[in-house]
Structure 1
């Protein structure tokens, strides 16, 4: 069974904290250390950002980290090399979040095969259309045991959400608002109504909420209606300001303030 599915079935009442960071940031060779420290401090799943020069869904904080990571020398090949021994020390699910162009350049099957080889459990590709995935790549992903995670927003129609749910096999990335990452400081009634609407749909794949989650308060707000929550920009800011040595401080402020 894929590690994502195992994690989602464990302790069904526990709320999952997933952390996003950009591979190769702050420094090129920080990737494995950050992953190991996040697991040690109670994070349930990790999203590893593969930096790209045109990250459409990312806000300024993650864009800046991607720019720096690229300047540091991060590439797809470098990332896979950094991850080649990661399963000797890390057990939690690892997901690569990236854009389709670098994956296409690498070769979609070669990319999936390499992910399986190093122990990546899933991919999040914001600019890969659901229909294109279903028609052209679903069988390939399944061949290598890679879960593809789709994003929904408050504007996604129920019919579309049902279709995404029907072809998914993991979790659904529930974007809290129709904006880029790092752009919110809390959740209002409109977002809460959206969270409730999705919860009431009783999807077979549990939703995990991302975008706009930065502290204990917003983590609790999100996980009241979802299996878990994803924090990205706030952790990148922490790495920018504190470096990689104080991961425990950040995670404890989220889970046990």
Structure 2
């Protein structure tokens, strides 16, 4: 693990039942950057994210948060440093956007510290960052998919953690709403947060991330900047797809064209 990284793992093994999904893995997330975790279905992307966030306990190895075993730290202390937005989210019926975002302040509450001005300031900041101020009194279940996902991310922003992990944050969203969410993630990184996200769409992973981790069968097969990592050989190895790559004229990030499934 990179000694400068706030979150990473050494010799990490994660199992589902008796089956090893990830075995003896070393990984670290570059500070202040957006990391996209890519790879085919079932390769261990979400399992890795859950392992790094303490949702999934390792069979062996260690997850290090600020140099300490994450499983040795109190839950609220972890929740003040790291937020996870899972792929499947569930909120109570009849909840408004602002009420949802208030849940993000739970790690900062205690018997000795009840709701205070700094909590409301954190909520106001999250509403502003996610461009939801005019919608704060709307019921969550009346929102569009993009608005709803921004509300969940705003809850994580209100948690005021330096680290944010997102599992497929644009899943089931149309193109316009995907862009809304990816641009919000990029803006959070510009403010100094460290983010990691599981992403299926390779052009979006290249455009909106600084660092890519490519996985296959529970292993990291390569990682680095999108321009260095994303090659047609990698796309073929991961997905069985032949393609050509051209640079995005605006950002220089790789774009996939002429894609064709390789018959095995």
TM-score by length of structure 2 reads 0.37
Higher strand share: 2
